[in-house]
Amino acid sequence: RFLDGRVCKSAFSYTARLAMVQRTAEADMVRLRKYEIPIKRVARNLCLDPALIAAVISQESRAGLLLDNGWDRDQQKYGLMQINRQQYQRSGVWDSEDHINQGSTILVLSINEVQARHPTWTLDRQLR
């Protein structure tokens, strides 16, 4: 990132960020249980790890905790996976299986794009 023409280094190492993400996911676990069945169905249909979908939901909306009737504070992103309203027409109610499927499909397309651009990267790096 650039700030005033200087390159800024992250205040946290990858390991520290990973630990923070894990703590957040653990705190969101009770809310995520509500979506366990739709997450697993979508994951199975898209050949994704359900934990990856749950992690995105946790990071994007804290499993719905940060949302107001499905919207972020600025009313620009919608749903558990925070789909940008300017880029995509929303599918389903903000916490529905349809919407989880839409967000997960976007995730798969993004992963495929990174893999195509960086075929020599490990899967772990591609996912990051």
Handedness of CA 44, 28, 86, 111 (dihedral sign): negative
User: Does 60 qualify as catalytic in the annotation?
Assistant: yes
Pairing, β 6-7 against β 83-84: unpaired
How far apart are alpha carbons 79 and 87 in whole angstroms?
14
Catalytic residue among 36, 60, 97, 113: 60
CB 79 within 8 A of CB 95: yes
Catalytic sites, residue numbers: 60
